[in-house]
Amino acid sequence: MNFRFKRSYSGPVQAVIFDWAGTVVDYGSLAPIDGFCMLFEQNSVPISHAEARVPMGTEKYEHICQLLAMPRIQQAWINVHGKAPEKADTDRLYKQFVPIQIEAINKRAELIPGAKETFDYLQLRNIRVGSNTGYSQAMIEGLIAKASAKGFSPESIVAATDVPRGRPYPHMTLKNLIELEVENLQACIKVDDTIPGIYEGLNAGLWTVGVSVSGNEAGIELFEWQTLSTDEQNAIRQKGEERLYQAGAHYVIDSVADLPDVIDDIERRLLAGEQP
């Protein structure tokens, strides 16, 4: 049997894989921050929003592990609990965290402005839509239902607990693409507001689009963003863009509302023989 392999795909974009918090819902990606800060507060070791954001994008058990490994937090834990945190502590914290996080997610389940319009655009173009998240399946059940009711309903939804390894490994994105029956990886895009999410897309061989304003990099609610001066907005935008481009993102946009123009440019580059 003879097979022909086309080295350079030149057709249209076939699929887009979205992150959830900070990308299509929860402007500012605040639900995870609310959850982690409450968890550590309840365990008498308060953490700052900046500390809680450092491991953002990772699976939530791993997120707790990374927080406990931070020197300041670890020392604070020792001061309060009399010993360094152990696996049993992490297991207990994660079990305690799940209901806290579910409540926080449900409070911040609003679609980011432009998310529905972008989803509608992809549907009109027959571009398949998947999503993945550092949340567990149990955490996002309510979020999926609320997002669907508001017009965002991806065909494939993968949680970090559905695969052997979460971000920055490519497992979730690859599972999405298998479920979507995509034919060409170079015709697919990963959209994410976190650096681990950009690494995930790159490791899967996709075009990657970072989100600099609506998610983790800016880390503020929409109404706060709107009260800032143009100079203040530009400073925040530039900082996020630099970090996401340094992580390897092919494009960086303010929010998912800006994605259609990126898709047009990627299709131009594919037609010219470029690959991610």
The torsion angles phi and psi of 213, rounded to 5 degrees, stand at -110, -45
| Continuous H helices in 2-114 | 31-42, 49-53, 60-69, 71-81, 87-107
107 is catalytic: no
Amino acid at position 165, single letter: R
Nearest to 172 by CA among 137, 129, 201: 201
- Smallest Cα–Cα separation from 21: which of 10, 35, 9, 11? 35
What is the signed CA dihedral for 78, 81, 82, 87, rounded to 10 degrees? Answer: -70
Query: Which listed residue (19, 26, 34, 254) is catalytic?
Result: 19
CB 132 within 8 A of CB 157: yes
**Catalytic site includes residue 60:** yes
Distance CA 264, CA 267 (A): 5
Q: Among the options 26, 34, 60, 190, which is catalytic?
A: 60
CB 16 within 8 A of CB 176: no
Neighbours of 185 (CB within 10 A): 19
Please give the span between the terminal C-alpha atoms of the chain, in angstroms, as a whole number.
30
Q: Compute the distance between CA of residue 133 and CA of residue 157 in angstroms, rounded to an integer.
A: 8
CB 170 within 8 A of CB 132: no
Which residues are the active-site residues?
19, 60
